Amino acid sequence: MAMMVYDAERLVREAQEPLAHNLACVCLERDLTGWSGWPATYHEDQFMRVGTLAQELKDESTLDEYHPAGTSYWSPHAPIAPRYYPYNQCGVWTCVTCGRFYLRHNDEGAYHLERRIRRVLPEHVVEVPLSGDAPPA
Protein backbone atom coordinates (compact mmCIF):
# COMPACT_ATOMS: atom_id res chain seq x y z
CA MET A 1 0.00 0.00 0.00
CA ALA A 2 1.40 3.40 -1.00
CA MET A 3 2.05 6.05 1.62
CA MET A 4 -0.46 8.95 1.54
CA VAL A 5 1.30 12.10 0.32
CA TYR A 6 -0.09 15.18 2.04
CA ASP A 7 -0.12 18.64 0.54
CA ALA A 8 -0.89 21.78 2.57
CA GLU A 9 -4.62 21.65 1.84
CA ARG A 10 -5.05 18.02 2.95
CA LEU A 11 -2.88 18.57 6.03
CA VAL A 12 -4.97 21.56 7.14
CA ARG A 13 -8.27 19.81 6.46
CA GLU A 14 -7.39 16.63 8.33
CA ALA A 15 -5.56 18.33 11.21
CA GLN A 16 -8.57 20.55 12.01
CA GLU A 17 -10.97 17.75 12.91
CA PRO A 18 -9.27 16.47 16.10
CA LEU A 19 -8.82 20.06 17.32
CA ALA A 20 -12.60 20.51 17.40
CA HIS A 21 -12.89 17.90 20.17
CA ASN A 22 -10.38 19.66 22.45
CA LEU A 23 -9.52 16.45 24.31
CA ALA A 24 -6.92 16.38 27.07
CA CYS A 25 -4.19 13.94 26.09
CA VAL A 26 -0.71 12.80 27.07
CA CYS A 27 0.58 14.04 23.70
CA LEU A 28 0.10 17.58 25.05
CA GLU A 29 2.47 17.08 28.02
CA ARG A 30 5.15 19.03 26.15
CA ASP A 31 4.72 22.16 24.07
CA LEU A 32 5.49 20.90 20.58
CA THR A 33 4.21 23.90 18.61
CA GLY A 34 7.80 24.35 17.39
CA TRP A 35 10.34 21.63 16.57
CA SER A 36 11.56 19.66 19.57
CA GLY A 37 13.74 16.66 20.17
CA TRP A 38 11.76 13.48 20.76
CA PRO A 39 10.56 13.70 24.40
CA ALA A 40 11.94 10.92 26.59
CA THR A 41 8.49 10.40 28.14
CA TYR A 42 6.82 9.76 24.76
CA HIS A 43 6.44 6.23 23.41
CA GLU A 44 6.56 5.25 19.74
CA ASP A 45 3.29 3.34 20.06
CA GLN A 46 1.47 6.57 21.04
CA PHE A 47 1.72 7.66 17.41
CA MET A 48 0.75 6.17 14.07
CA ARG A 49 2.24 7.16 10.74
CA VAL A 50 -0.52 8.16 8.32
CA GLY A 51 1.47 9.71 5.49
CA THR A 52 4.30 11.93 4.34
CA LEU A 53 4.88 15.46 3.13
CA ALA A 54 7.75 14.25 0.92
CA GLN A 55 6.80 14.78 -2.72
CA GLU A 56 10.31 14.11 -4.04
CA LEU A 57 13.21 11.83 -3.23
CA LYS A 58 15.23 13.08 -0.27
CA ASP A 59 18.30 13.78 -2.43
CA GLU A 60 16.18 15.91 -4.77
CA SER A 61 14.47 17.95 -2.02
CA THR A 62 15.53 21.49 -1.29
CA LEU A 63 17.32 22.28 1.95
CA ASP A 64 16.05 25.87 1.80
CA GLU A 65 13.79 26.91 4.67
CA TYR A 66 10.82 29.27 4.40
CA HIS A 67 10.78 32.09 6.98
CA PRO A 68 9.26 35.26 5.45
CA ALA A 69 8.52 36.85 8.84
CA GLY A 70 12.01 36.32 10.28
CA THR A 71 11.14 33.14 12.17
CA SER A 72 13.64 30.31 12.49
CA TYR A 73 13.61 26.52 12.44
CA TRP A 74 12.91 26.43 16.20
CA SER A 75 10.21 29.11 16.29
CA PRO A 76 6.76 27.93 17.41
CA HIS A 77 5.31 30.43 14.91
CA ALA A 78 7.40 29.27 11.94
CA PRO A 79 5.27 28.41 8.94
CA ILE A 80 4.80 24.78 8.01
CA ALA A 81 5.61 24.97 4.29
CA PRO A 82 5.46 21.42 2.88
CA ARG A 83 7.73 22.13 -0.12
CA TYR A 84 10.54 23.51 2.08
CA TYR A 85 12.99 21.92 4.52
CA PRO A 86 12.48 20.20 6.89
CA TYR A 87 8.82 19.67 6.04
CA ASN A 88 9.62 18.19 2.63
CA GLN A 89 11.25 15.30 4.49
CA CYS A 90 8.60 14.78 7.18
CA GLY A 91 6.36 11.91 8.04
CA VAL A 92 2.80 12.78 9.02
CA TRP A 93 1.74 11.11 12.27
CA THR A 94 -1.31 11.13 14.51
CA CYS A 95 -1.70 10.52 18.21
CA VAL A 96 -3.55 7.20 18.57
CA THR A 97 -5.51 8.54 21.56
CA CYS A 98 -6.80 11.93 20.39
CA GLY A 99 -6.00 12.04 16.67
CA ARG A 100 -3.94 15.24 16.78
CA PHE A 101 -1.48 15.58 13.91
CA TYR A 102 2.29 15.74 14.26
CA LEU A 103 5.22 15.98 11.88
CA ARG A 104 8.38 13.98 12.46
CA HIS A 105 11.76 13.95 10.77
CA ASN A 106 15.30 12.87 11.51
CA ASP A 107 17.79 15.72 11.78
CA GLU A 108 20.99 14.17 10.51
CA GLY A 109 24.04 15.91 11.97
CA ALA A 110 27.65 15.10 11.19
CA TYR A 111 28.00 12.70 14.14
CA HIS A 112 24.48 11.94 15.28
CA LEU A 113 20.85 11.49 14.36
CA GLU A 114 18.26 13.51 16.28
CA ARG A 115 14.59 12.63 16.06
CA ARG A 116 12.39 15.74 15.85
CA ILE A 117 8.66 16.24 16.33
CA ARG A 118 6.32 19.21 15.82
CA ARG A 119 2.59 19.51 16.40
CA VAL A 120 0.54 20.58 13.39
CA LEU A 121 -1.50 23.71 14.02
CA PRO A 122 -3.54 24.39 10.86
CA GLU A 123 -3.01 28.15 11.09
CA HIS A 124 0.74 27.60 10.59
CA VAL A 125 0.40 25.54 7.40
CA VAL A 126 1.05 27.46 4.16
CA GLU A 127 1.19 26.41 0.51
CA VAL A 128 4.16 28.20 -1.02
CA PRO A 129 5.83 27.31 -4.32
CA LEU A 130 9.58 26.83 -4.32
CA SER A 131 11.52 29.84 -5.58
CA GLY A 132 11.42 29.70 -9.36
CA ASP A 133 8.41 27.35 -9.50
CA ALA A 134 5.08 28.36 -10.90
CA PRO A 135 2.38 28.77 -8.23
CA PRO A 136 0.47 25.55 -7.48
CA ALA A 137 -2.65 25.08 -9.60
pLDDT at 56: 76
User: Among 16-25, 34-43, 75-84, which is the least confidently predicted range?
Assistant: 16-25
pLDDT at 137: 47
Q: pLDDT for 72-100, tens place per residue?
A: 999 999 999 999 999 999 999 999 999 99
Long-range contacts of 100-104 (CB under 8 A, 24+ apart): 100/15, 100/18, 100/19, 100/25, 100/27, 100/28, 101/11, 101/14, 101/15, 101/18, 102/27, 102/32, 102/47, 103/53, 104/47
Please state the pTM of the whole predicted model: 0.89
Half-sphere exposure of 27 (CA within 13 A, CB side): 25
99-130 pLDDT, tens digit per residue, is 999 999 998 776 778 899 999 999 999 999 98
Q: Phi, psi at residue 51, to the nearest 5°?
A: 175, -160
